[in-house]
Structure 1
């Protein structure tokens, strides 16, 4: 994927999301993964951290896509929960054996309740902050996106209610009934959110990709062919790491520098195409 302004945060969200899914034991058996980490359910902690990071960077990607300024003091607040979660997890007693429902049998421990509750509180804070940021722009697809986020927030609230009621009250059955809604609401909300965000992202950037993709690929291939860079990987890296317009601008500079340094003019068809790209780039600027 060629980099656009918000794609780096989107890539990070995707990577952490995949790591969170992997740590659930979907690909490799959970017991196998956890055995490499001591067999004490560290995978549960990793899954929570990866999921929180995925939501955090997804939030940042959407913020940039919607051109919403960053609120500095709240931006990194959810990440502060990670060291607290690690500390609470370390205090949980009898963490063996590996189990997908690691939390439930240990919910009577205060450390378990704190670990699970802080994780859900961080997710809830991140989601509600995103909904709040979109409050003035929630129209069309952004409204659908915000609705999906609200469903995710309700799911997190259900889990928080379950943790509080199960640990601090005798109403265990009632707590379990509320907690059972978490996964249903969470994945429903995420599905709506992901679908609306993907459509929104593509609708915004497909025209731009169509306009510049061919030129960017052609310039990158030309840089590699004429050996305009010290490293063969440099043109491809610029193509991935820059925005389309910035990557094209950098490629044009590299190619002109190559002509001057090598004292070799490009053939007329290549020079004509470079001139057309420069004219198009100048018109856009």
Structure 2
């Protein structure tokens, strides 16, 4: 198996949109990114695969970990899309997670799991346990991708259409790998199975690139208005807090900027600055006070 160097490209690098635009779908994206990065790490992109796997016994346990992390990455990516599309949670939402214990058990039953190899699965596809492990993994991925496509079925226009088209290609790639597993293990057509399996990489990365581009543009298009409205004010207020030493800690303004939504960060900065003025009995210059009043008026207009 071609190790899915994707983890949805670190969960499509899921838009590490800073938490200055922290919304529900962004938080799910952060979690997906965390699992995606973990999957890429145990893939051997950070350290050599054999070196990482040696700490786990040198019997390709990293392959299992990578598969689990990648599955969790796309699971939370699915959750981010669900929140963005405003789709309620149903029991099928958790269905892909049921594949994880099946994968663990089937992996444990694979004979002669070592030594460490990036082609671990391909060279053991003649074993039923290997076919079960790889097939379960791919079915869970296919289920999740198809579920995302289904969630967006009424929104398949514009950027959503680009995003959905990329997912369709990803689903086709995963289907090719499932066909490879089934044909290679259960039929005598090994060469035909390998020819179909070879399409996985070609389709997967093309579909993933299209998906990532569509998702990134879609996500940013929803956040840019908020960024334009509040980003300059949030940065200006944070800089003012630092300049006048309005906080006990020098890192508090930067932390609030990072850890709060833009609106909440602006509101909190205004409170800190007002407390500073009252505590020190030192009014700001007229130009600064005028800017603060403008920001407060904008906040009041949003309520």
TM-score of the superposed pair, with normalisation by structure 1:
0.90
Q: Distance in 2 between matches of 1:112 and 1:44?
A: 12
- Asked if residue 143 in structure 1 is aligned to residue 161 in structure 2, the reply is yes
Alignment of 1:192-271 (within 5 A): 192-271=210-289
Is the 8 Å Cα contact of residues 53 and 61 (structure 2) preserved in structure 1? yes
Distance 1:112 1:223 in 2: 59
1:28 is aligned to 47
Which structure 2 residues correspond to residues 91-106 of structure 1 after superposition, within 5 A? 91-106=109-124
How many angstroms does 1:142 deviate by? Answer: 0.5
Given candidates 275, 285, 290, the residue that maps to 1:272 is 290
Aligned CA RMSD, in angstroms, stands at 2.1
CA shift at 1:263, angstroms?
Answer: 4.8
249-258 or 185-194, which moves further after superposition? 249-258
The gaps in structure 2 that reach 5 residues or longer are 1-17
Q: Please list every run of 5 or more consecutive structure 1 residues that lacks an aligned counterpart in the other structure.
A: none
Deviations 1:154-189 (A, max 9, x none): 111111122122222222222222212112111111
Contact 1:3 1:240 in 2 (8 A): no
1:188 aligned to which of 206, 209, 230: 206
Q: Using the alignment, how far apart are the partners of 2:242 and 2:80 within structure 1?
A: 32
Note the C-alpha offset of 1:100: 0.8
Superposition deviation, residue 90 in structure 1: 2.1
Q: How does 1:59-74 map to 2 (within 5 A)?
A: 59-66=78-85, 68-74=86-92
**What do residues 54-102 of structure 1 show as CA deviations (whole Å, max 9, x unaligned)?**
2222222233333x22323222222232233222222222111111110
Report the CA distance between 1:153 and its aligned residue.
0.9
Q: Residue by residue, what CA displacement relative to the aligned partner does 1:212-259 show, whole Å, maximum 9, x if unpaired?
A: 111111222333444444544443233222221122122223333344
Aligned 8 A contact 1:120 1:156 in 2 = yes
Alignment match of 1:179 (pick from 183, 186, 197): 197
Q: May I ask how many residue pairs the two structures share in their alignment?
A: 284
Match of residue 9 from structure 1:
28
Give the Cα separation in 2 of the matches to 1:229 and 1:77: 48
Q: 1:187 and 1:256 mapped to 2: Cα distance?
A: 52
Match of 1:123 among 134, 137, 141: 141
